Structure 1
Amino acid sequence: MPNSDSLQNDEVANTLVKFRSQPHPIPADARVAYKLAQVALVLNAFNKHSATIENLHLFTWSLQTRRSGEMLAAWWSGHRYASTVTQRSDPHLSIALNVGLIRGMVTVSGANSNRITLEQPGILFAQQITADDGLMVAEKNFLHQFNKLSDAAVSRRLARSA
């Protein structure tokens, strides 16, 4: 007489297993190449191609959705108080920055390693993106409304302590 373990093993052994392809697309903002392009555009918009990590997070976060962009634009223009802004972060930024460091596109500096600077390969990348009228149009138009950015300007506009 077969025991219950052997019946279960036979049942498992005879079970038909089927696999189906169910694509789960990776959102654009989670793709390293796209995030590196965002970083290049944002840092290129800043004075001396350099920004604090906090401001880089803020501006790449603002590029994620229309709503986040509208929020930053409202804070910037003074239509909404930015007191609700303590820190906005982009969860995919750290991976892109690590790749950018390896590729020599960015460097990290500052007393607390809190400043990210776009290096020559990153500047050339940003210039190529900027020169192509069909590439990252929404991102370029959004950043253009802020003119030349600086950490001091962000602090003044958003009433942050420097």
Structure 2
Amino acid sequence: MTGEDEPLETEEVEEARVAFRSQPHPIPADARVTYKLAQIALVLNVFNKQSASIENLHLFTWSLQNRRRGQMLLSWWAGNRLANTITKRSDPHLQVALNVGLIRGMVKISGPNNHRVTLAPQGILFARQIESDDELMAAEKTFLRQFRRLSDASVARHLTRSV
């Protein structure tokens, strides 16, 4: 080449080989919209009136992502670890799932600044279907049952009492 962009010779183009190979890149379960919608349904189902602030929904879906996070939340809840280490925990995949849930009629967004998420009838049905199968999302259900019935007020009380 002379420094200027020169077109490739026809012979070079004809001899060029392009090969495609399948290289699967699995999507982690917590990034899959269907799984995230199931988490949302389970979390909201343990809150009074199947409704929670977006911050609490983030916190609880974040805590379901792995055992360590779940143990951290349980420790804060029990007052064994300072809750001021919590600041805000967020689930990066939650917003996409909420948008899909909203479009599918599974959740409703309400409240000042649209910060409250509530299960719609479709979401309540979905949560009941998950709850009815003991093997489906067993670890998540077992974890959430440790908190009994939740409310935004109970979360605030438990997580701010040790500050």
Q: Report the TM-score, using the length of structure 1 for normalisation.
A: 0.91
In structure 2, the residue matched to 1:67 is 68
Given residue 146 of structure 1, which amino acid in structure 2 is its aligned partner?
A: F
Given residue 42 of structure 2, which amino acid in structure 1 is its aligned partner?
A: L
SS of corresponding position for 1:112: helix
Confirm or deny that 1:120 pairs with 2:112.
no
State the number of aligned residues.
158
In structure 2, the residue matched to 1:76 is 77
Residue 144 to residue 14, structure 1, CA distance change in 2 (3 Å): same
SS of corresponding position for 2:18: coil
In structure 1, the residue matched to 2:152 is 151
Deviations 1:116-136 (A, max 9, x none): 011111111101100101100
Cα distance in structure 1, aligned partners of 2:8 and 2:133: 66
Cα distance in structure 2, aligned partners of 1:83 and 1:10: 68
In structure 2, the residue matched to 1:25 is 26
Any residues of structure 2 matched to 1:1-162 within 5 Å, and which?
5=6, 10-159=11-160
Deviations 1:24-43 (A, max 9, x none): 01111111111000000000
Deviations 1:37-70 (A, max 9, x none): 0000000000110000000000000011111111
Identity over aligned pairs, percent = 67
SS of corresponding position for 2:52: strand
Cα distance in structure 2, aligned partners of 1:90 and 1:139: 15
CA RMSD, Structure 1 to Structure 2 (Å): 1.7
Cα distance in structure 1, aligned partners of 2:126 and 2:42: 9
Cα distance in structure 1, aligned partners of 2:141 and 2:8: 65
Cα distance in structure 1, aligned partners of 2:56 and 2:38: 16
SS of corresponding position for 2:160: coil
Structure 2: unaligned runs, 5 residues or longer? none
Q: Report the TM-score, using the length of structure 2 for normalisation.
A: 0.91
Residue 62 to residue 9, structure 1, CA distance change in 2 (3 Å): farther
Given residue 93 of structure 1, which amino acid in structure 2 is its aligned partner?
A: L
Cα distance in structure 1, aligned partners of 2:10 and 2:58: 53
